[in-house]
Structure 1
């Protein structure tokens, strides 16, 4: 039996809403019935809880006991990855179960309890990683190499950071966002994704970044 759900979309250009609805319908075909669609236009850089459409969606869910919320992708919750992770944590803490019509790497789509648990593990992992990044920012890789007596050019990212980069890329985060988040160049990201063509290929032609630039 299909479950009742609400959807939240962030549009950047005219005509986006129609395309995004098609993606939603394909994702929900055998799983969900969307009762209401909420939308904010050109609000990706605004924190979720400061958006009119997002707050209207939360209010609707609370009043109608709606548990399932469908987003187009994880990156649509917030342009800043840390803000997005914080918001996901808030959602599951309030009893909501978020789904992503694109690039949903969490799994357990048909099991809300296991899905919520998996999302919780992901949020915990990303929170731990973010804390490590904040601590590491006080010491640059070049300074660390001098301290440890390393010879040669230091790596831009360590193994843990590379793992986190791949994780957020799988979640749908754009290359531009990743460059800003990890403070690395596009060429560095390209080298890291060499062994992951399915992730690298999504941004060939820079179409996704061009769309984001046009929305700013």
Structure 2
């Protein structure tokens, strides 16, 4: 039996609403019935709890006892990855169960309790890692390499950091956001994702060139 749910959209340009609705409706087949769509336009940098559409959605969920909330992706929630994770924590604590139409690596679609638990584990992992990054500021990789007497270009990230990078990329976080989170260049991220081609995405310049060619 399909479960009642609501969907939240964040749009930036004309046509985004219909496009995102199609993706969400396809994701919902045999799983959910979307009772209502809610939308905020061009405010992805605004805190979630200060958005009109987002708050209307939460009020609707409370009034109609709906606990399943559908998003396009985790990264679509906010430009700030920390804010996205913090909002996930709030939603879980309030009894909601979020789902993502794209890059949903959590699983447990048919078991809300296990899904909520898995999201909680993901939040704990990310928060523990980020807290460690904030507390310990390692020396510059090149300086550290010189102090050890090693030759050649040092590694930008250690094994634990690489694992965390791949995890947040799987969650749908953009490469630009990852560069800021880990303080590395796009080329470093690209090298780390060499063994994960499905996570690398498409270079914007290539896409724009293709679009220009189609318009000619």
TM-score (norm 1): 0.90
Shift of 1:44: 1.3
Work out the CA distance in 2 between the residues paired with 1:141 and 1:56. 47
C-alpha root-mean-square deviation of aligned residues, in Å? Answer: 1.8
Q: Which residue of 2 aligns with 1:162?
A: 162
Q: CA deviation at 1:161?
A: 1.0
Greater length-normalized contact order (CA 8 Å, ≥ 6 residues apart): 1
Deviation for aligned residue 1:66:
1.0
In the TM superposition, what whole-angstrom CA distance separates every residue of 1:128-154 from its partner, at most 9, and x where no partner exists?
01011112336433444455x251332
Alpha-carbon distance, 1:207 to partner: 7.4
Partner of 1:204: 203
Assess, with a 3 A threshold, how the Cα gap between structure 1 residues 207 and 65 changes in structure 2: closer, same or farther: farther
Deviation, 1:203, is 2.5
**Alpha-carbon distance between aligned partners in 2 of 1:120 and 1:207, rounded to the nearest angstrom:** 37
Alignment of 1:102-117 (within 5 A): 102-117=102-117
Write out per-residue CA displacement over residues 166-202 of structure 1, whole angstroms, 9 at most, x where no aligned residue: 11111111111111111111100110000001111x2
Pairs within 5 Å for 1:45-64: 45-64=45-64
1:80 corresponding residue in structure 2: 80
Aligned partner of 1:128 in structure 2 is: 128
Asked if structure 2 preserves the Cα contact closer than 8 Å seen for 1:8 and 1:39, the reply is: yes
What's the TM-score once normalised by structure 2's chain length? 0.90
Q: Which SS does the other structure have where 2:14 is aligned?
A: coil
Larger Rg: 2
Assess, with a 3 A threshold, how the Cα gap between structure 1 residues 208 and 124 changes in structure 2: closer, same or farther. farther
